[in-house]
Amino acid sequence: MIRTHRRTLLMAAAALAAPRIGNAQDGWPNRPVRVIVPFTPGGSTDILARALSAELQETLGQPFVIENRGGAGGTVGSEVVARSAPDGYTLMMGHIGTLAVNPSLYPNLTFDTVTSFQPIVLVAIVPNVLVVNPRKVPANNVQEFIALAKRQPRGLTYGSGGNGSAAHIATVAFSVAAGIELEHVPYRGTGPMMTDLVGGTIDLTLTGGPPALPPVRAGQLKALGVSSLRRLSSAPDIPTIDEQGLKGFDATQWYGLVAPAGTPRPIVDRLNAESRRILTGPKLRPRLEAEGADPSPGTPEEFRELIVSERARWGELIRRANVRAD
């Protein structure tokens, strides 16, 4: 009798709890959402996260607060998200480095970039731009640059947002394709790296359009080539690396929103739908395209497939080039 009564009470409690869980999802968000950027401010990851978060905040009626958690090529911030509650209140702007490159570069990660995260939406594809400090690098195109680099192996320094960052891996791919050796100088983020490049502390970088194009347009840096197979619509005067002799060279960055694994599907679907509407709309899309980013939203499943395939692609390059996170 007592056992029956207890079972009845437990069933009643479960029945009461179910609507509360459903209502919590239906009412999401009812408090601020934090968006982790696993790098310091100023890079493409930060720029895209802030642009999309501002629009989501306006649409969903709650603050989307950017939290920069740089360190170890983005692994510090990624681990924070992987360990966070899957309730829709912690998101991350991931990218090719944090989601596809780092598993091969950092073999002792405490999380898995496929199983520890729930993909939400691919935000943008961003071609890299090879930019040099013209006071230090007397080259006007890719072939002149390659010839200069071959005359002084490891004599030219390139900056990146850190070991495993998109700029790091893209430059490794470029160096392998061109048959040159460059000296890597990793930073804690793209912002401080670009500051040093403009100042002449380092010689060049191969990084995304959003941080690279403004100093080029200001005359502070010179753009030698674009890493995609097509020229940028926002900078059609910059030829591709492919058309300058390195046939087939294609090393673009991509960025996307993820959440901790287990985040309720209704929240994922709502974020996906709102992000797709925003990214293809007349307000944000032209702005991103002007900065060299191509908004490319799709389904969560399509984004997951991209992460898996890119992990395999860049993992092979890292092993072949013996790239190390040091």
Tokens 């500051």 — which residue? 195
CA–CA distance from 120 to each of 5, 37, 62, 313 (Å)?
Answer: 44, 15, 18, 22
CA–CA distance from 251 to each of 246, 295, 304, 317 (Å)?
Answer: 12, 17, 19, 12
Amino acid at 199: G
Checking if the pLDDT of 324 tops 80, the result is: no
Contact 269, 255 (CB under 8 A): no
CATH 3.40.190.10 in the chain, residue ranges: 127-244
End-to-end CA distance of the chain: 67
- From CA 175, how far away is CA 252, in angstroms rounded? 15
Angle between helices 190-199 and 209-217 (to 10 degrees): 30
Handedness of CA 73, 76, 81, 83 (dihedral sign): positive
Residue-wise pLDDT for 136-174, tens only, equals 999 999 999 999 999 999 999 999 988 878 899 899 999
- From CA 286, how far away is CA 294, in angstroms rounded? 9
Residue-wise pLDDT for 172-231, tens only, equals 999 999 999 999 999 988 999 999 999 999 999 999 999 999 999 999 999 999 999 999
In this structure, how many other beta carbons lie within 10 angstroms of the beta carbon of residue 300?
Answer: 21
Tokens 């890299």 — which residue? 128
Residue-wise pLDDT for 84-131, tens only, equals 999 999 999 999 999 999 999 998 999 999 999 999 999 999 999 999
Omega before 282 within 30 of 0, i.e. cis: no
> CA 42, 321, 189: angle at the middle one, nearest 5?
10
Residue-wise pLDDT for 61-87, tens only, equals 999 999 999 888 899 999 999 999 999
117-132 vs 222-226, strand pairing mode: antiparallel
- From CA 109, how far away is CA 101, in angstroms rounded? 12
- From CA 108, how far away is CA 87, in angstroms rounded? 27
Determine if residue 262 is left, alpha or beta; phi over 0 gives left, psi from -120 to 50 gives alpha, anything else beta.
Answer: left
Contact 226, 97 (CB under 8 A): no
Question: Which CATH number describes the domain made up of 32-125+253-321?
Answer: 3.40.190.150
What average pLDDT is seen over the chain? Answer: 91
250: exposed, middle or buried (Cβ count in 10 Å: 0-12, 13-18, 19+): middle
Tokens of 283: 């307000």
Checking if the pLDDT of 8 tops 70, the result is: no
276: exposed, middle or buried (Cβ count in 10 Å: 0-12, 13-18, 19+): middle
Tokens 């692609």 — which residue? 313
What is the third-level CATH fold of 127-244? D-Maltodextrin-Binding Protein; domain 2 (3.40.190)
CATH 3.40.190.150 in the chain, residue ranges: 32-125+253-321
Confidence (pTM): 0.84
CA–CA distance from 192 to each of 71, 178, 185, 199, 224 (Å)?
Answer: 13, 27, 12, 11, 21
Residue 236, pLDDT score: 95
- From CA 155, how far away is CA 52, in angstroms rounded? 39
DSSP letters along 279-306, please? HTSTTHHHHHHHTT-EE----HHHHHHH
Contact 118, 261 (CB under 8 A): yes
